[in-house]
Amino acid sequence: MKHWTLEHEQGGIAVATLDRAGESANALSAEVMAELGELLDGLDRQPPKGLIFRSAKPAGFIAGADIDEFSQLDTPARGRALVARGWELFNRLAAVPYPTLALVRGHCLGGGLELALACRYLLAVDEPGTRLGLPEVMLGIFPGWGGMLRLPQRVGPGAALDLMLTGRTVDAQRARKMGLADDCVPPRVMDAAARQLLLSGQPRRPLPLLQRLLGGPLKGVVARGARRQVAKKARPEHYPAPYAIIELWQKHGGNALAAPEIVDRIIASPTARNLLRVFRLQERLKGFGKDGDFTAKHVHVIGAGVMGGDIAAWCALRGLRVTLQDQDIGRIAPAIQRAAKLFTRKLRDPLLARAAFDRLIPDPEGQGVAHADVVIEAIFENTDAKHALFRQLEPRLKPGAVLASNTSSLKLEDLRTVLQRPERLVGIHFFNPVAMMPLVEVVAAEGADPAALQAACAFVRQIDKLPLPVRSAPGFLVNAVLAPYMLAALRAVDDGIAPETVDAALLAFGMPMGPVELVDTVGLDVALAAGRQLADGAEAPRCLAGRVAAGQLGKKSGRGFYDWSSGKPAKAAAGAVPAGLAEKLVRPLVDRTQALVDAGIVADADLADAGVIFGTGFAPFTGGPLNHRRTGGRAI
Ligand code: NAD
């Protein structure tokens, strides 16, 4: 066998180790599955006392099915054959007469978890990399290899649907608590613990009565509740997969082959194709951080305001030592308080939160500059202030340190004129709110040092964000495409369409937030200034200029287009949406995206789509603005 090895131990235990040839992570390709079938054939002839599945990859157990094979699913018959392959093989595994155990260390996702669920026991190794989940829904498909059958049986329908419908993953301890793993042990005892559990004869923990009722006579109630939850986040015409998962669980016992029309519908839907595309684009962005050997240990952030404070907190959360500088300690304190909240929310464990807190060091004197591998400037948006700062900074930097500005609107070419080595300044442009936005633009000015840009990308990956290389130009990619879109929305308001109606039209298109609410969120003054810079000198919309003059700046002032006094926008019922409104408002965004590709600001159309999706939330099921136009999307 090419991918599996089977060892027979003294005591009669067989150990099947997956080490997929030529890949750094295990995935269940057609070949891997066929070999697993052969392996089971052999064991049928000579049954072992027990069988353990493990992985030889340091990366983890099994990352899922081989998604490259998904793109070959061009006919319904092929789609059904793919489902049948895993469904039948894992049913066979679940029925073998000897005990089986999956020793799960590192990621165990999708088809990998379905294999583990088909084993009698699941032993999770308690270390940070261990994550279990069924994220198929994020690719627009469903866990068709037994996940929809066995996960609800193991953890109860509520928890199972939650995992399958959100794509969320859980760690080893959580997996044990919810009953997904039979036990969770530290790495040093995992081999002994696996053998002991395998031969223990221990029966599966039965589900509590309530869970059995919810998975039996009360299925309909659970399914209705789940549909209501999903409907809050995803419309069936945009995202059919979560609805299919609920139906397959409720009516077909999780067996997709019993409802081939659903399989055909999902596999033929553009959503599945486009979400797969988005996944690949995300992998491509991740790849930008891979070359070279730059690793940051210490980051120094200057400016503890909205952005600098949150950037510093995020870097500390991700394990870096961070010094945070501002004009005085009083301006740093609020950022530290915000950071403490972030650590508690994200890390949950008080010891880990404490450790993150200890990594974030207030540094009003700027002593961290001399030790930092990355220095990020996030002070006021003012060229003179930034010049004065850069003059002081440059002589104190470590030789290979990255010097970056978070500027949104100033030209790097102007900012770097005061530097002895101007080519070392790069843009590392985060979005607000830092903790929520996955994209970071890495900005190259003319003649910038490629090594500095490479290091900047590696740093962005290190803190678990997605780097998008862009060339220096007003608004880079993301703000440049948002400006004409927001402008078009506000012109529609000038033309007498209610803000509620404009927002409703774009929500129906698939945007995460309506453009008028977005303007309220970023601030009307910021939108006005950005509009002036990015809208080719056109006059500002009256509805915007008027409100700014009246001091109605949006969420931050309690009132903009909407009343925010309750913390949320108070919206009246939307009127009937005029035909073609969403198309009309999205078109300028798509046009601008294309223009930026043509001008070489971003290297190609795919990267532009990735940037717009991860930087603005542009409807992912479309595959991005340019893909949407290219594939003749309904709306444009
Ligand atoms: P902010 O006004 O909230 O914070 C700026 C901070 O810098 C203040 O705390 C100020 O005291 C400090 N500061 C000013 N001069 C200083 C100096 N010489 N030394 C030390 N500290 C100094 O501003 P912000 O919104 O966080 O923006 C900061 C930068 O980030 C700007 O360049 C802006 O264009 C960019 N940016 C902002 C956003 C956003 O949504 N706010 C998004 C992306 C990028």
pLDDT tens, position by position, 291-331: 889 999 999 999 999 999 999 999 999 999 999 999 999 99
442 forms beta bridges with: 428, 469
CA–CA separation, 426 and 476 (whole Å)? 13
pLDDT over 60 (residue 408): yes
Nearest CA to ligand 1 atom 15: 379
| 526 closest CA partner among 306, 278, 343, 265 | 306
**Mean pLDDT of the chain, nearest integer:** 95
> Which one of 306, 375, 470 would you pick to mutate in the ligand 1 pocket, going by the greatest count of ligand atoms within 8 A of its CB?
306
State the distance from the centre of ligand 1 to the C-alpha of 304, rounded, in angstroms.
7
- Of the candidates 204, 195, 202, 185, the one whose C-alpha atom is nearest the C-alpha of residue 48 is 195
Interatomic CA distance for residues 514 and 503, integer angstroms: 4
Closest approach atom of ligand 1 to CA 379: 7
Q: Which residues pair with 124 in a beta bridge?
A: 104, 184
> Which of 408, 470, 479, 553 to mutate to test ligand 1, by most ligand atoms within 8 A of the CB atom?
408
Number of Cβ within a 10 Å radius of residue 41: 10
**pLDDT at residue number 176:** 97
Ligand 1, closest atom to CA 308?
26
Q: Whose CA is nearest to atom 9 of ligand 1?
A: 305
Q: Does residue 62 carry a pLDDT above 80?
A: yes
Atom of ligand 1 nearest to the CA of 405: 32
How far is ligand 1, taken at its centre, from the CA of residue 526, in Å?
A: 13
pLDDT in tens, 554-584: 999 999 999 999 999 999 999 899 999 999 9
d(CA 536, CA 522): 20
Q: Can you tell me which atom of ligand 1 is nearest the CA of 430?
A: 43
Q: Using alpha carbons, select from 617, 235, 613 the residue that is nearest to residue 627.
A: 613
Q: What is the pLDDT of residues 9-42, one digit of tens each?
A: 999 999 999 999 999 999 999 999 999 999 999 9
How confident is the model over 580-635, as pLDDT tens digits?
999 999 999 999 999 999 999 999 999 999 999 999 999 999 999 999 999 876 54
For residue range 417-452, list pLDDT tens digits in order. 999 999 999 999 999 999 999 999 999 999 999 999
Going by CA atoms, what residue is nearest to atom 39 of ligand 1?
A: 432
- For the annotated catalytic residues, the residue numbers are 429
The pLDDT-based confidence of 349 (bands split at 50, 70, 90) is confident
Q: Tens digit of pLDDT for each residue in 259-296?
A: 999 999 998 889 999 999 999 999 999 999 898 899 99
Report strand pairing: 183-185 vs 121-125: parallel
Ligand 1 pocket list (CB less than 6 A): 302-308, 325-327, 331, 378-381, 385, 389, 406-409, 430, 432
> Looking at residue 205, what is its pLDDT?
82
pLDDT for the residue numbered 229: 96
Query: What is the rounded CA–CA span in Å between residue 482 and residue 504?
Result: 18
Ligand 1 probe mutation, 300, 311, 326, 383, most atoms within 8 A of CB: 326
Tokens of 395: 């002589």
* Gap between the Cα atoms of 292 and 161, Å rounded: 41
pLDDT in tens, 175-192: 999 999 999 999 999 999
pLDDT digits (tens, 9 = 90+) for 351-385: 999 999 999 999 999 999 999 999 999 999 999 99
Q: What percent of the chain has pLDDT over 70?
A: 99
Give the DSSP letter string of 267-283.
Answer: HHSHHHHHHHHHHHHHH
Ligand 1 center to 324 CA (angstroms): 12
User: In this predicted structure, what is the pLDDT of residue 537?
Assistant: 74
Backbone angles phi, psi at 515, to 5 degrees: -70, -30
Cα distance from N-terminal residue to C-terminal residue, the chain: 50
Q: What is the pLDDT of residue 104?
A: 98
* CB contact at 8 A, 111 and 208: no
pLDDT at 532 over 60: yes
Structural element, H or E, at residue 611:
helix 605-616
- pLDDT band at 636, cuts 50/70/90? very low
Mutate to test the pocket of ligand 1, among 379, 409, 465 (most ligand atoms within 8 A of CB): 379
How far is the centre of ligand 1, averaged over its atoms, from the C-alpha of 381 (Å)? Answer: 6
User: Which tens digits make up the pLDDT trace of 89-113?
Assistant: 999 999 999 999 999 999 999 999 9
Question: Residue 536 pLDDT > 80, yes or no?
Answer: no
pLDDT-derived band at 75 (thresholds 50, 70, 90) equals confident
- What is the Cα Rg of the chain in Å? 27
Residue 635: predicted pLDDT: 41
Mean pLDDT value of segment 37-53: 98
pLDDT of residue 534 exceeding 90, the answer is no
For residue 631, the model assigns a pLDDT of: 87
For ligand 1, the distance from its centroid to the CA atom of residue 261, given in whole angstroms, is 55
Which atom of ligand 1 is nearest the CA belonging to 407?
A: 32
User: For residue 406, how far is its CA from the centre of ligand 1 (angstroms)?
Assistant: 8
Nearest CA to ligand 1 atom 29: 378
Closest-lying ligand 1 atom to the alpha carbon of residue 382: 32
89: Cβ contacts below 8 Å, ≥ 6 apart: 33, 36, 37, 40, 145
From atom 28 of ligand 1, which residue's Cα is the shortest distance away? 378
C-alpha of residue 135 to centroid of ligand 1, in Å: 37
Q: What is the pLDDT of residue 634?
A: 52
Task: Measure 364 CA to ligand 1 centroid, in angstroms.
Answer: 15
User: Which atom of ligand 1 has the smallest separation from the CA of 409?
Assistant: 34
